[in-house]
Amino acid sequence: MTFSTHDLRRFIDATVGRDARPLLLQTMGHFDGPGHAVDLGCGPGNDVLALLAAGWTVDAFDVHALAIETTAARAAERGLGDGLRTTIARFSEVELAPRSADLIHAGFSLPFTTADEFRTIWRAIADALRDGGRFVGQLFGVNDTWAKDPDRQELTAFTRRDVDALLAPFEVEHLEEVDRDGVTATGTEKHWHVFHIIAKRT
């Protein structure tokens, strides 16, 4: 899913400089040391910077050039650019080498896909993780406001049974379902139905 330049700028302005997502930090703590990470939908780069600062190398993907430019510039400002490789791409265009990643992060990004695109990127994620590697990220549930919006055709949502089936090949280290009212990053009220996931390839 792509956003207008105005909406993307609002999102980046509202989120740039925030701390890395707690679930990502929790996942990083499961490893003995840094490795190679992939960030799918890197946005302004808050999570990428946390990985780089901890010694990880990172491949960061986003469909929006502004997000990639922001992430790369912030990494360079901190002297962390050598560990970062960035690519502008839709998820259906992302190429991940088999067994190449220790950690794949998708912070609130995978839901913004068509069903076909999601199946493609989910297979790529599973194939790209090394043994002992982990996926960390979020999927939307069917009760989410955006899942019920007919104008959001590039959005995929799941039931709990769907999520359990997706995660069946993995060792599930964390699975939290949140189904409540809240606000978006830019302050708009909405109902959130989200699955927060840490899944380990065994």
Query: What is the helix (H) or strand (E) element at residue 149, kind and residue range?
Result: none
Boundaries of every domain in the chain: 5-200
pLDDT, tens digit, for every residue of 99-111?
999 999 999 999 9
- What CATH code is assigned to 5-200? 3.40.50.150
Dist. CA 61–CA 89, nearest whole Å: 6
Distance CA 77, CA 170 (A): 37
- On average, the pLDDT of the chain sits at 94
What is residue 144's DSSP assignment?
S
Q: Residue 96 corresponds to which tokens in the numbers above? A: 């991940």
Q: Has residue 6 got a pLDDT over 60?
A: no
pLDDT tens profile 108-128: 999 999 999 999 999 999 999
Nearest in space to 117 (alpha carbons), one of 71, 195, 63, 39: 63
Q: How many residues does the chain have?
A: 202
Q: What is the pLDDT of residues 140-177, one digit of tens each?
A: 999 999 999 988 888 999 999 999 999 999 999 999 99
Dist. CA 92–CA 14, nearest whole Å: 27
Q: Quick check: 180 pLDDT over 90?
A: yes
- Say how far apart CA 173 and CA 27 lie, in whole Å: 9
Q: Say what angle helices 65-77 and 5-15 make with each other, to 10 degrees.
A: 30
